[in-house]
Structure 1
Amino acid sequence: MSYPGYPPSGGYPAFPGYPPTGQESAYPPAGQYSYPAVPGGYPPAGGGTYPAAPPSAGYPGAAGYPAPGGYPAPGGYPGAPQAGGMPPYPGGPGFGAPPPGPGFGGYPQPPAQSYAGGGPAQIPGYPGGQAPSPMPGAPAAMVQGTQGTVQAAPNFDAGRDAEILRKAMKGFGTDEQAIIDVVANRSNDQRQKIKAAFKTMYGKDLIKDLKSELSGNVEELILALFMPSTYYDAWSLRHAMKGAGTQERVLIEILCTRTNQEIREIVKCYKSEFGRDIEQDIRGDTSGHFERLLISMCQGNRDENQTVDYQKAQEDAQRLYQAGEGKLGTDESCFNMVLASRSFPQLKATVEAYSRIANRDLLSSIDREFSGNVERGLKTILQCALNRPAFFAERLYYSMKGAGTDDSTLIRIIVTRSEIDLVQIKQMFTQMYQKTLATMIASDTSGDYRRLLLAIVGQ
């Protein structure tokens, strides 16, 4: 069995031990992330040993790790899951369980990008037992991190694109394909330049023109693509709390998955664009422990130190156990404190330490100790720490599963992840549900809406 969530959405930094710690990338991600350099490739060809684990990590001995027949060996890793399998992902309100499969919490390991260090190594869990060859041109010990399906167009000319869009909307009828060809193949920054060029050249507002020519889901999708990224998140949060009722899942999806910098920019944008304080809106629309969790998220103060303190992970795991499974009742504030403040790599180590202490997966414990929106929020944070692309793949799947389609969720995730990690999300989707994201989109949507979504997804 392969290491859960390996490689993760953000890539691993070099770390002298196993497992390597995670790394959260900036928004949008940039640059490359390195794996620990291991002579002859990683993992070693022929099933050799991994680097020794730090003693404080509590892993079984380094030699021959993981043990043949499964990851990890019985008696080593948390609560001694049987060889060849990890504990299943606990389902819960609003989060259906992905199909059983390798990986932590039922999430399969993300499809490999390319390992540094040389030719194919025999790895259980890969088709044919083969790890992919290194990415062409990738320097030693470097591997591609997260990747979007939408890239900035080369030889970009905002004026020329504005002219194409004007021609597509002028006169009788609309050339939707011409609009799709431009919009789906430009980065968000380039779309902002097209919008400015359009107003300069024609004295008209591009968004108003597009709204007059389009309708329904394709209109919502194109308008989302033309919103600056931060504004779109702020706009989504405002609409989730505006009017009667609250779309709590939107609040969770955005506030529990973004980086510190993104959150601070969203909070500032929310104030400047809508003249409102997001904390006050959250207090007015939510209550109890869920309200406190969201207020914590709004601070954008999560520790972002990528170095894992295994001793602290052990202490936090013990603290969480004593606050939940180890006592009558639940100390919700303890869960809030740990999950809202620790870095994602640190939380990953805490999840592993917790399983050793409690003989239970932390996600499963949260299922037992919490309910409703606070449960969803806490699980979202952990899912992002363990495997962020898998979290978004699951959200996409359930936006289309069953009768009807949650088009707003489908649009929001495709648009917000299109320049960050939609490549990894697509790969996870296929691995988790045995069908491609494009196949499901094609069967659930139609017309120009389908064509534009598929163009963004990269089909």
Structure 2
Amino acid sequence: MSYPGYPPSGYPPFPGYPPAGQESSFPPPGQYPYPSGFPPMGGGAYPPAPSGGYPGSGGYPAPGGYPGAPQPGGAPSYPGVPPGQGFGAPPGGAGYPGYPQPPSQSYGGGPAQVPLPGGFPGGQPSQYPGGQAPYPSQPAAMTQGTQGTIHPAANFDAMKDAEILRKAMKGFGTDEQAIVDVVANRSNDQRQKIKAAFKTMYGKDLIKDLKSELSGNMEELILALFMPPTYYDAWSLRNAMQGAGTQERVLIEILCTRTNQEIQEIVRCYQSEFGRDLEKDIRSDTSGHFERLLVSMCQGNRDENQTVNHQMAQEDAQRLYQAGEGKLGTDESCFNMILATRIFPQLRATMEAYSRMANRDLLASVSREFSGYIESGLKTILQCALSRSAFFAERLYYSMKGAGTDDSTLVRIVVTRSEVDLVQIKQMFTQMYQKTLGTMIASDTSGDYRKLLLAIVGQ
């Protein structure tokens, strides 16, 4: 399988950057055996799992930070649900309060439903100390339409854009603003056409020219924007498993959030571009229950029947309870089977049924029964079943919170969601953290890198 604009050997290796102090690191040139020429990002972008797993440290909120998590008195709570009823369905069987039921809710590239700010329990954002907000409810007010911040430019002229980029890089100095104006306002498909036009017009490779003019995070962001989306996901997975150590949270972020079709295309691209089998690489780089979950994910075989089976949800909830809270020890394979095979709306119904039956939120039960990366993977699936946009908003927040910035995560999420659901993610970000995504990016980044990020997020 080939990808437009990506001939074997089309891209030279990165120079050894970024500057000291950046969290992601790149190894020296000449170490990249990749047909496509894009090197691994190297290790270091993700810290090792803290003792006891992730809750509350490094990207995943602490137990109790999700709607329905145990509250004093033992009963789960949820905005808009009477005390003691947990996630119980409202009259008429509408399901999760505030969460639309299928088939109206779609995932992936289709029309998405947009949560608007204001879903805080009791309207009191201040009750979340330290900015730690729960997973918000999704209000009834929704809008339909394309949810990316980047759209194909009207009256697009690939040759004219190629000429603008050539002039921006020619001679003394580089006109970064001209580069920003072009790449931030063209769809990925249009960027591939610009790349082809540039080579046709000037007999030179656009990526090589950009690399010679740019450096650091700006270079990483520009190159990510010029990679086809499937290739970028495959490349990120390869980088996460290349060299010493494994960036497990990159594997979780991609494999536990993509649609069946996206995963199947990633697997094919990984094989065609890197000459490697994704499942084999996962098996060699991970182990135990975490390995089995990721292998299940990379099959891209989740049930796609959008009709929710409430009887199955009740049975699955019972099985999950008996595999975890209801027994001594944990039957991990039961959790793996249900969370890896059910479509997200079905999982939402299962979480509802579980909360009614166990008087405990399933996310909280996973925190009690699991730890480390398997806990993070299972919780990512459940979080995406509730709201994929809230999951990515949370990842973006923790990529910038505290000392330093995890630029690789920031770049990856902004780029990969820019034509999918970044509008929705921005709205959820504001709802969860009482600040805009643009404000946080502006305070955590600088220079042309900041300009380009803000242009992509539509700030």
Shorter chain as denominator, the TM-score bin is: 0.7 to 0.9
Question: What is the alpha-carbon distance in structure 2 between the residues aligned to residue 18 and residue 443 of structure 1?
Answer: 41
Describe the shift of the 1:306–1:146 C-alpha distance in structure 2 as closer, same or farther (beyond 3 A): farther
Q: Please give the alpha-carbon distance, in whole angstroms, between the structure 2 residues aligned to 1:28 and 1:434.
A: 27
Partner residue of 2:132?
Answer: 99
**Does the alignment pair 1:109 with 2:129?**
no
1:99 Cα deviation from its structure 2 partner: 3.1
Deviations 1:124-155 (A, max 9, x none): xxxxxxxxxxxxxxxxxxx4155010011011
Letter in 1 for 2:136: P
The aligned counterpart of 1:425 is: 425
Q: Deviations over 1:246-288 (max 9, x none)?
A: 0000000000000000000000000000000001100110000
Q: 2:109 aligns with which of 28, 52, 60?
A: 28
Offset of residue 217 of structure 1: 0.1
Tell me the TM-score normalized by structure 2: 0.75
- Render the CA deviation track for 1:375-433: whole Å, top value 9, x for unaligned: 00000000000011100000000000000000000000000000011001001111111
Q: 1:338 to 1:146 in 2, by over 3 A?
A: farther
Indicate whether 1:322 and 2:326 are aligned.
no
Alignment CA distance shift 1:97-1:348 (3 Å):
farther
CA distance in 2 between counterparts of 1:415 and 1:153 reads 17
Q: How far apart in 2 are the matches of 1:204 and 1:192? A: 15
What is the distance in 2 between the residues matched to 1:112 and 1:344?
A: 19
What is the identity, as a one-letter code, of the residue corresponding to 1:28? G
- The offset of 1:98, in angstroms, is 6.7
Distance in 1 between residues matched to 2:187 and 2:278, nearest whole Å = 28
Contact 2:112/2:147, CA 8 A, preserved across alignment: no
- CA offsets 1:335-362 (integer angstroms, 9 cap, x no match): 0000000000000000000001111000
Alignment partner, residue 47 of structure 2? none
Helix, strand or coil for the counterpart of 1:339?
A: helix
The one-letter amino acid paired with 1:403 is A
- Size of the aligned set, in residue pairs, is 359
- Does the CA-based 8 Å contact 2:150-2:187 persist in structure 1? yes
Distance in 1 of aligned mates of 2:375 and 2:216? 33
Aligned equivalents of 2:280 and 2:151: distance in 1? 37
Partner Cα distance (1:351, 1:3) in 2: 17
**Distance in 1 separating the partners of 2:274 and 2:189:** 22
Say whether the 8 Å CA contact 1:111–1:427 is kept in structure 2: no
Aligned residues of 2:112 and 2:421 also touching (Cα < 8 A): no
Whole-angstrom distance in 1 between the partners of 2:169 and 2:138: 42
CA distance in 2, matches of 1:424, 1:33: 8
Q: How does 1:96-175 map to 2 (within 5 A)?
A: 99-100=132-133, 106-110=134-138, 114=142, 143-145=143-145, 147-175=147-175
Identity over aligned pairs, percent:
80
| Aligned 1:237-386 pairs, distance under 5 A | 237-386=237-386
Distance 1:294 1:97 in 2: 33
1:22 CA drift (Å): 3.9
Shift of 1:365: 0.2
Q: Per the alignment, do residues 413 and 112 of structure 1 end up closer, same or farther by CA in structure 2, a change over 3 Å counting?
A: farther
Q: Is the Cα contact below 8 Å between 1:98 and 1:107 reproduced in 2?
A: no
**1:376 and 1:458 mapped to 2: Cα distance?**
30
Q: Deviations for 1:98-124, whole angstroms, at most 9, x for unmatched residues? A: 734xxxxx311346764xxxxxxxxxx
* Superposition deviation, residue 28 in structure 1: 2.8
- Unpaired segments ≥5 residues, structure 2: 1-77, 82-91
Q: Check the 8 A contact 2:106/2:112 in 1, yes or no.
A: no
Q: Secondary structure at the match of 2:360?
A: coil
Residue by residue over 1:13-61, the C-alpha shift from the partner in whole angstroms, topping out at 9 and shown as x without a partner, is xxx95134245646433x5779xxxxxxxxxxxxxxxxxxxxxxxxxxx
**8 Å CA contact retained: 1:324, 1:331:** yes
Deviation at 1:311, TM superposition (A): 0.3
Q: Distance in 1 between matches of 2:338 and 2:237?
A: 24
Rounded Cα–Cα distance in structure 1 between residues aligned with 2:379 and 2:272: 31
State yes or no: 1:186 paired with 2:266: no
Q: Alpha carbons of 1:381 and 1:317: their partners in 2 closer, same or farther (altered >3 Å)?
A: same
Q: TM-score, normalised by structure 1?
A: 0.75
Letter in 1 for 2:378: L
Q: How many angstroms apart in 1 are the aligned matches of 2:348 and 2:307?
A: 12
**2:403 matched residue in structure 1:** 403
> Aligned partner of 1:108: which letter?
P
Aligned to 1:345, what secondary structure does the other structure show? helix
Check the 8 A contact 2:162/2:194 in 1, yes or no. Answer: yes
Name 2:67's counterpart in structure 1.
Answer: none
Indicate if the aligned counterparts of 1:99 and 1:433 stay in contact, CA closer than 8 A.
yes
* Aligned with 2:94 (options 18, 26, 29): 18
Task: Return 5+ residue gaps in structure 1 as ranges.
Answer: 5-15, 35-69, 72-82, 86-90, 101-105, 115-142
Name the residue aligned to 1:37. Answer: none
The runs of 4+ residues in structure 1 deviating greater than 4 Å are 1-4, 31-34, 110-114
Tell me by how many angstroms 1:304 deviates. Answer: 1.3
Instruction: Give the secondary structure class of the aligned counterpart of 1:327.
Output: coil
Deviations 1:233-255 (A, max 9, x none): 00000000000000000000000
Give secondary structure in 1 for the equivalent of 2:301.
coil
What CA distance in whole angstroms lies between the structure 1 residues aligned with 2:231 and 2:80?
37
CA distance in 2, matches of 1:84, 1:168: 52
- Give me the whole-angstrom Cα distance separating, in 2, the residues matched to 1:99 and 1:387: 17
The structure with higher relative contact order (CA 8 Å, sep 6+) is 2
